[in-house]
């Protein structure tokens, strides 16, 4: 579980990147610097009703006076992006958490392959900035319907130069996931974007034998699995031995909170990692898209993941 400070930041500027995407520049009303961050990090924006939405930082990583986030207005979204577009203007205050990074650049890599689709380019732009500054070897595949609808295209061209390959549908150029190539030692793959794109990249990587540890994905939308039938299960509290029943229609997080546990959470969709908790003695049905495979043996997200019959949580 990770708690993060929430600050009230001021919108310093709003710029249109595409007809659907706006870039918001945020600053602290009193402090010269915002918390330090590394490429791939995201912050949570708190909506007026208390819900949180995750946005990747896309400016220059490090301790900076300002942050940039790019927000696409989603027509079929959960209302967060519409609120941002309709309510945030220069001078408005907004509650923003300190950054968290679930999608960091791999340390010690010799080459990086970045694949971004649509608004998914935001964390990758920050990565490209870091890599370019280090003089690292990288390629950036940018997928969008057209150049006009590709968010942050101008910035990407400046940062990546020749290393940018654009795949715009209206030009008849479609990204072929086979382009990721063979998994050489020290090469790391990063993908962020629509579900379809991520699945294509995953499939191509699996087919070519890329190791799990060389692949990095970030998905800011819940994986909807209509066939999943939640079953009730028992939660045993490691410290007290107390057993709580989680009914089929409720989450472990809800049940624990009702019992009086003050637990952090943010997205409650299995994408942010705020509610991660240790567990043992049980088979967990992982339904999040944040925990890496290597962490799934002993960590679970309490907001969406469930267990078969019972599990002991480290609380």
**Which residues in this chain contact other proteins in the complex, by CB under 8 A?**
1-8, 50, 95, 97, 257, 260, 262-266, 268
Contact 150, 171 (CB under 8 A): no
Q: Identify which of residues 214 and 305 has a Cβ nearer to ligand FES in the complex.
A: 305
The entry of other proteins, ligand FES, none near residue 288 (CB within 5 to 8 angstroms by kind) is ligand FES
**Nearest one of 129, 147, 151 to 138, comparing CA atoms:** 129
Among 131, 153, 267, 313, the residue binding ligand FES under the rule CB under 6 A is 267
3-state secondary structure of 193: coil
Among 27, 44, 155, 288, the residue binding ligand FES under the rule CB under 6 A is 288
Q: Identify which of residues 27 and 268 has a Cβ nearer to ligand FES in the complex.
A: 268
Among 61, 151, 193, 273, the residue binding ligand FES under the rule CB under 6 A is 273
**Nearest one of 203, 291, 305 to 252, comparing CA atoms:** 305
CA distance 2 to 147: 38
- For the bound state, the minimum distance from the C-beta of residue 251 to ligand FES, rounded and expressed in Å, comes to 9
Contact 27, 80 (CB under 8 A): no
CA distance readout (Å), 114 to 40, 82, 163: 12, 28, 10
- For the bound state, the minimum distance from the C-beta of residue 261 to other proteins, rounded and expressed in Å, comes to 8
Among 131, 141, 268, 306, the residue binding ligand FES under the rule CB under 6 A is 268
**Cα Rg, the chain, nearest whole Å:** 20
The answer to whether 275 contacts ligand FES (rule: CB under 6 A) is yes
CA distance 56 to 290: 14
Among 61, 116, 270, 282, the residue binding ligand FES under the rule CB under 6 A is 270
The answer to whether 266 contacts ligand FES (rule: CB under 6 A) is yes
The answer to whether 274 contacts ligand FES (rule: CB under 6 A) is yes
Instruction: Tell me which stretch binds ligand FES (CB under 6 A): 159-167, 176-184, 209-217, 264-272.
Output: 264-272
CA distance 146 to 160: 18
The entry of other proteins, ligand FES, none near residue 182 (CB within 5 to 8 angstroms by kind) is none
State the CB neighbour count (10 A cutoff) for residue 75.
8
Q: Identify which of residues 3 and 185 has a Cβ nearer to other proteins in the complex.
A: 3
The answer to whether 99 contacts ligand FES (rule: CB under 6 A) is no
Q: Identify which of residues 4 and 111 has a Cβ nearer to other proteins in the complex.
A: 4
The answer to whether 44 contacts ligand FES (rule: CB under 6 A) is no
Q: Identify which of residues 18 and 266 has a Cβ nearer to other proteins in the complex.
A: 266
CA distance readout (Å), 243 to 233, 238, 275: 10, 9, 19
Q: Nearest residue by C-beta to ligand FES?
A: 303
- Non-local (6+) Cβ contacts of 294 within 8 A are 212, 213
- Non-local (6+) Cβ contacts of 12 within 8 A are 25, 26, 27, 66, 90
- Residues of this chain that bind ligand FES (CB under 6 A): 265-268, 270-275, 288, 290, 301, 303
């Amino acid at each position: 579980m990770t708690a993060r400070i929430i600050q009230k930041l001021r919108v310093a500027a709003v710029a249109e990147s595409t007809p659907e995407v706006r870039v918001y520049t945020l600053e602290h009303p009193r402090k010269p610097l915002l918390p330090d961050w590394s490429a791939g990090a995201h912050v949570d924006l708190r909506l007026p009703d208390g819900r949180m939405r995750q946005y990747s930082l896309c400016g220059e990583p490090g301790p900076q006076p300002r942050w940039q986030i790019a927000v696409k207005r989603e027509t079929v979204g959960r209302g967060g992006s519409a609120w941002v577009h309709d309510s945030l203007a220069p001078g408005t205050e907004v509650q923003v958490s300190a950054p968290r990074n679930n999608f960091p650049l791999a340390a010690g890599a010799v080459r990086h392959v970045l694949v971004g689709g649509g608004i998914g380019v935001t964390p990758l732009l920050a990565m490209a900035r870091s890599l370019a500054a280090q003089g690292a070897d990288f390629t950036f595949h940018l997928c969008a319907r057209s150049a006009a609808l590709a968010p942050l295209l101008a910035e990407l061209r400046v940062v990546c130069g020749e290393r940018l390959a654009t795949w715009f549908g209206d030009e008849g150029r479609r990204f072929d996931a086979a382009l990721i190539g063979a998994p050489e030692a020290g090469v790391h793959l990063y993908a962020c974007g629509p579900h379809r794109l991520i699945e294509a990249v995953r499939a191509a990587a699996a087919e070519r034998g890329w190791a799990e540890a060389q692949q990095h994905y970030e998905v800011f939308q819940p994986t909807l699995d209509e066939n999943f039938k939640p079953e009730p299960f028992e939660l045993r509290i490691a410290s007290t031995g107390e057993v709580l029943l989680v009914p089929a229609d409720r989450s472990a997080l809800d049940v624990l909170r009702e019992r009086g546990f003050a637990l952090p959470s943010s997205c409650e969709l299995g994408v942010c990692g705020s509610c991660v908790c240790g567990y043992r003695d049980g088979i967990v049905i992982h339904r999040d898209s944040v925990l890496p495979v290597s962490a799934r043996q002993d960590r679970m997200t309490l907001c969406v993941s469930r267990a078969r019959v019972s599990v002991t949580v480290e609380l």
